[in-house]
Structures are given as C-alpha cells and as structure tokens.
A and B are shown apart, each in its own frame.
Chain A
Amino acid sequence: MRAWFFSENAYHLLPDSKEYDSIRVKLPNRYYDPKIGADLYHRFIDEWKIAEDLGLEIMVNEHHQTATNLNPSAAVVMGALARDTRKARLLILGNPIANRREPVRVAEEMAMVDVYSRGRLECGFVRGVPYEMSAGNHRPTRMMDRFWEAHDLIVKAWTSHDGPFNWEGKYFHHRQVNIWPRPYQEPHPPIWITALSPSSARAVGERGYIVACFLTGFEGTKNVFDSYRERRAELKLSTPALDRFAYAALVYVGETDEEGYAGARKLMWYLESNKVPPQFTSPPGYHPTASAVNTMKGTNPGIFKMFQNPALGPLMEHGLVFAGNPDSVYRQILKMYDHVGGFGHLLIMGQAGFLDHDETVKGMQMFVREVYPRLKALA
C-alpha cells in the first residue's frame, strides 16, 4: 500500500462560529489575514516536503470561497511543490472539471506540472462539492455530462500531438486545440477520479482509472469498490489490481491511544467547522432526487447525521477516522481493507485546524515508522 499525505490548507483562526452562518461561500474574507496566510502557506509546503523526506507521497486538492481550504488552485501549489520536491508522486485530487470553464486550460496546467516534476504528476478529476455551485456559479444539474465531456477533451488534448483538433461539444467549444507543453508521462499522467456512488464508480471502472473514496466509511466504500469491480467483470475487462482503489480518512498515530485520539480530535476541526446551511449543501440537482426526498423526510443514512454532529467514537467506528497507537491504527486500517476487498492507496488527512506543525510532523513520523511498513507488506 502507498500512503499519501494530504492537508486541506485551512485558515483556522476564525471568529466564534456563532458569529457566522456559513464557513463556505459567504464568509467575508476580512476574517483572513494575508500575513498569517503567507506563514500558513509556507508551513504547509514545508510539511509536504517533510512528508516526502519521510517517504510519503504528496496529495493536494482545491476548494473555493472557503476558510476550510486556501488552495483555490491546486495547480499553483503543485507548481511550487513540483519544484521543491524530487521523488514523491504528486497527486492532485482533484481538478473540479465539471466546474472549470476551460478544460483546455486544465490540460495545459496539468501538463505543465507533469513536465515541471519530470513525470511525477497523478492527475485527479472530481465533480466538485455542492457548496461550490454558488462559488463558481455552476449549474448543479446534469453535472456528470459536463464532467465527462471535460474529461474527454482534456485526455484528447494530452494525447494529440499532430497539431490542432476541433471540439464543438455540448458544453465546450474550441476549434484549435494544440497544447504546449504536452505531458511528460506517456500517454498521460495516471488519472484518479473520486466516486461517492455506485453509478459513478461503474463509469470509473469501465475506464480502469484509480477510484478514490473520501470519508465514505465501511459500507459506502465497499459499495463503490464493489461496483467498480462488478462493472469490469460485466464488461469482461481485466480484474483491477489493488492500486486502482484509494481510501481517504482522518489519520493520527500517537505513541499511545490517548495521544492518537487527541491528534484525531484536532483533525476533526475539519468536520466540526464545516458549518454550511442547506441551500449550499444541497443545491437542486446536485444530489439524486431520491436523496433530496430523504432529506425532506429526514431519513438520510446515519453517515450524513454523523457529519452534522461529529464525535470521535462514531467516526472511528464507521471508519472515517483511524487513530490511536500504532497497533490500533494498523488494526483499524486492516479492518477497512478487509471489509472493502483491499485498496492500494491510503490518503491521509493529517493536518487540520489547530493541529500544530510539531504535532502534524509527529503524527506523520509515527505513521511512517510504526504503521507504514506493515501496510506496505499488505500489497
């Protein structure tokens, strides 16, 4: 198994949450101090470099108009990391391509990072979280049509080397597509796609990309991975290796269970601070109609309620947080691994909120020294 260190680059020095009704979309940026923000950017880049030194791979993502994540452009921070690192694989998970107006620009940026890093880019595509429909003015309906058209255009831009091609699709129009640079890796960087539902997992499985699950717990993750495997079997495609599956959780390894839990409680800031009103969590058309009906009836599955009122016990029980001493964390990861049929990538949310630099680094060191060798032996 390969482990990836991931940080949301949050800006956590916020007023009491009673003073605002949403941490996303509309929280005024007067609460952001750019001088503190600069220190934070450099701190987080240092932590990614330490992750590389320890032997971890690097993952970044992007979000918009939110204090929970100060990377509105994954390409920009990854550009800096591509220059500052030498050996780690560099995963962007991901580019919210259903929300980007110019997929060709995404193809260019990703090719640039791939060349800059001499072929270390792993390129993720995501649909984009519901809160960002307002942030980007993107229509929440029929998003997956737009997503796949953007994907098709990006892959074609990466793999066309004989001058311009024409693209007049439903959502995107470019008559002269001919990107410079082209990607370093042939035919293009490995593609990752996040899936939350069995139907999207099937679409990823058909293409053989790496499917990633974020905080989906035991059952949600199993549904996604099973759907991926089933779809490939239906189409008589090769059985996917473990390296096609990734799972992201909040992870903190301490010397004792207590220390691990204390670190995890600080990571939970990410869930606790995610105060967002319903008009931003459920823009119409983003979630399936049946799920909108369940919301009105108040019968959505327990995992949704857990996000509304996060507590360490239930989060660990459901496999969203792996925390404790090294043996405990290994057992927890193994339990998830066995439940979902195995996975080849662990995406570690290892920094959030008030977890300071030393604590962040200690959690990484403990993981690498005490847990990672056992995980590597798994696959």
Chain B
Amino acid sequence: MATNVTQPGWVTVHGVRLEIVERGQGRPILWLHGEEGLDPGAPFLDLLAAHGSVLAPSHPGFGHSPDVASIDTVDDLSYLYLDLLAERNLRDVTVVGSSMGGWIAAEMAVKCSDRFSGLVLVAPLGIKVGDRETRDIPDIFALPPDEVTRLQYRDPARAAVDHGKLSDDQLTIIARNREATALYAWEPYFHNPKLRQWLHRIKLPTVLLWGADDRFVTAAYYGDAFRTAIPGARFETIPGAGHFPHIEEPAGLVERIGGFIGERKA
C-alpha cells in the first residue's frame, strides 16, 4: 500500500470511481469524512497515519469523486464502503466517521461489521432524537452561512475562507461538497428515521468522541442519545474543539483514536 503520498489516488469499488487518500502503514483505518469534505492536505491525516494505514475516500459527488446516478443516499454509501472493505479484503479495520461520515459508519456497522475491529464515531449525525417539532440538527440550508460556522466551530475565525485566494478547482470542490451534502442529507434531514432503533445491533467496541464546544449537535443531547442507543459505547469529549475536532483539535482527536486502536492490538 502506498505511503507518504500527498496527492490523492483513485480506487474503483464495484464500478464506482472514488478519489482516495492512502497514507501510512499497518492495520487499516477507514476515515469517512463529513459534509465539509476531505482535505488531502489536512494535518489530521498525517497524524492518523502514524497509527495505521489510512484510507480516506471522497464520497461520490465530493472532492473530485464523480457523481453517480445510482448513488443518492447514505444507505448507498454504507454499502459502497462495505464493498470497498470486501474488495480490498481488509480485516480488523478501525472505521472512523465524522459528522455525516459518522452516520455512514453507523449505517455500515448496523448492516455488517465482520471486517471491523472497532468503531469511532466523531460527533455523528444520522438519528432522530427529539419529537417531530424539535429540530435536532440546525438547518444549515436555511441559516445564514456565518451562523452555521458559529455553530460548527469553537473558533469561527478558523473556518473563514477567502474565496478570492482559492483556485477554480478549490472553489469547485467547495461547491460540489455542498451539493453532495444536499443530495445525501436534505430529506430526511441528516438522519435515517429508522437508524436509532437498529443501533443496538452494533456489538463492536465503539467510542463516541465529541468536541466539548460542539454547538451544532451537543454532547449532552445528541451525543447522549447516540451513546444510550449503542450498547457499551464509550463516550469521550475533546476539549478545545467544536463540531469538527479533526480540524480544530487534530492532535487531541488522533490521540483518542490512537488510544482506542492501541487497546485492540493483539
């Protein structure tokens, strides 16, 4: 497997072409990005690669991964990545998903976790918690962009982007990531109404990691609902981080993931 490659490569899973970052050596770690997309240059990926061989695909429609007409739900994505693990014949995989990626990881684990060694959910979305009039997850498609940033980042200044300094390719990726998020998460909004009732099927070692300053979906409300739905799941908070700890506290997040992987070494 490739090591120290900064440029993403490509993988084809059951006919679906995906841009993928592969980095590091050792036991496999599948990183499933969230609605913010995959930044191949993120320091987080290098830190994670110290703990195993990282596979980080861009979901169809995100990054440079082409749209696929037949793929338009998180359910589809969960099967796609189960196929990826099977086609590579990977075993003992630590599956890590953040936000919408956590939703994908949970859907995978509910279906089949034979190839998993453990599950790490970083502020996952994907379940309905409150009643029908409770908006569990703020509506990113109806809020002013600044307000979305304020909710998702401990330090919103970190998310500030000067569009004038980005290339057309980088701007296109931002636009595609937003479009793909709408495709997968518009309705039902960032959740599968049925997922919560099946989370009990996850019998794996599971850790839920939550930014202590996540104002988007809070640890006390959304995080607690996830924890109680997965039998035996451990719950840890990451100080100094909002909804995307891999961006705001990469070292703190990877330390927790590394510790979790270490516990599972034979």
Contacts and interface: CB of A to CB of B under 8 A. Distances in A.
A141 B172 contact: no
A290 B175 CA distance: 8
B176 interface: yes
Contacts of A277: 144
A297 B162 CA distance: 10
B171 A134 contact: no
B174 A296 contact: yes
Interface residues of A, number: 23
A133 B176 contact: no
Given A285-B182, A285-B183, A296 B145 contact: no
A84 to B, nearest CB: 38
Question: For chain B, what secondary structure do more than half of its interface residues adopt (helix, strand, loop), or is it mixed?
Answer: helix
Contacts of B171: 293, 296-297
The residue among A133, A137, A293 with the most chain B CB atoms within 10 A of its own CB is: A293
Interface in B118-175: 139, 141-145, 163-164, 166, 168, 171-172, 174-175
A285 B168 CA distance: 17
A284 interface: yes
Given A285-B179, A296-B174, A279 B144 contact: yes
Interface of A: 25-26, 133-134, 137-142, 277-280, 283-285, 289-290, 292-293, 296-297
20 contacts: A26-B142, A133-B141, A134-B141, A139-B186, A141-B186, A142-B183, A279-B141, A279-B142, A279-B143, A280-B142, A284-B175, A284-B179, A285-B182, A289-B176, A292-B175, A292-B179, A293-B175, A296-B163, A296-B166, A296-B171
The residue among A26, A277, A278, A284 with the most chain B CB atoms within 10 A of its own CB is: A284
A25 B168 contact: no
B181 interface: yes
A277 B145 CA distance: 10
Contacts of B145: 278-279
Contact of A289 (B141, B163, B164, B172): B172
The residue among A133, A141, A280 with the most chain B CB atoms within 10 A of its own CB is: A141
Contacts of B168: 293
B187 interface: yes
Contacts of B183: 139, 141-142, 285
Q: How large is the interface on B (under 10, 10 to 19, 20 to 34, 35 or more residues)?
A: 20 to 34
A153 B231 CA distance: 46
Contacts, number: 63
Nearest to A25: B142
A141 B180 CA distance: 8
A289 B182 contact: no
A137 B189 CA distance: 9
B72 A142 contact: yes
B27 interface: no
A290 B174 CA distance: 11
A283 B141 contact: yes
Contacts of A293: 168, 171-172, 175
A26 B182 CA distance: 20
B227 interface: no
Nearest to A283: B141
Contacts of A290: 172
Given A137-B186, A138-B187, 11 more contacts: A134-B141, A134-B142, A137-B187, A139-B182, A139-B187, A140-B186, A141-B179, A141-B186, A279-B141, A280-B142, A283-B182
